[in-house]
Chain A
Amino acid sequence: MTLDRDSNSFVQSGQRFVALVYLVLGILGFLPFDFINPMHHSGIGVPYLFNLVAINALHNFVHLSIGISGLVATRTLAGAQLWGKIAGSILLLLFILGMVQAAIEGFPNDQLLWGLIPLNSPGHMLHLVSGGLTLYLGLIRTSPTATKS
Chain B
Amino acid sequence: MTTANLDRPNPRIPLSREFQFVFAAILVGISLFGLLLYLLPSETAFYWAWVIREPRSAILIGAGYSGAIFYYLIALRGHDWLEVESGLGGLMVFVLTLLIATMPDWERFKPYHPMTFIWLAFYYGGPLAIPVFYRMQIAQFGNASPGGAKISQAWRTWLAVRGLIYFFIVLLGMLFAPIIATLWPWSIEPLEVRVFMGQIAAIAWQGGIAIQRDGLAWRRHRLGLVLSAAIGSLQLIGLLMLHTPYNLYSPLGAVLPLIFAEWVVTPLFMFSIYRRQI
Contacts and interface: CB of A to CB of B under 8 A. Distances in A.
Interface of A: 1, 3-4, 6-7, 9-10, 13-14, 17-18, 21, 48, 50-52, 102, 107, 109, 120-122, 125-126, 128-130, 133, 137
A107 B112 contact: yes
Given A52-B106, A107-B111, A121 B116 contact: yes
B276 interface: no
A137 B106 contact: no
B132 A125 contact: no
Interface stretch (B5-13, B134-142, B164-172): B134-142
B47 interface: no
A125 B139 contact: no
B78 interface: no
B251 interface: no
Q: A-B pairs with the 9 shortest C-beta distances?
A: A7-B139, A125-B120, A14-B132, A107-B112, A121-B111, A10-B135, A129-B124, A129-B125, A51-B103
A48 B106 contact: yes
B117 interface: yes
Contact of B102 (A52, A130, A133): A52
B124 A125 contact: yes
A18 B106 contact: no
A6 B136 CA distance: 10
Nearest to A49: B103
How many chain B residues sit at the interface, stated as a range, is 20 to 34
A122 B116 CA distance: 9
Nearest to A16: B132
Interface of B: 17, 102-104, 106, 111-112, 116-117, 120-121, 124-125, 128-129, 131-132, 135-136, 139-140
Given A6-B139, A14-B136, A51 B104 contact: yes
Given A7-B136, A21-B128, A129 B121 contact: yes
Nearest to A48: B106
29 contacts: A1-B17, A6-B139, A7-B139, A7-B140, A9-B139, A10-B132, A10-B135, A13-B132, A14-B135, A17-B128, A17-B132, A18-B128, A21-B128, A50-B103, A51-B106, A52-B103, A52-B106, A109-B111, A120-B111, A121-B111, A125-B120, A125-B121, A126-B120, A129-B120, A129-B121, A129-B124, A129-B125, A133-B129, A133-B132
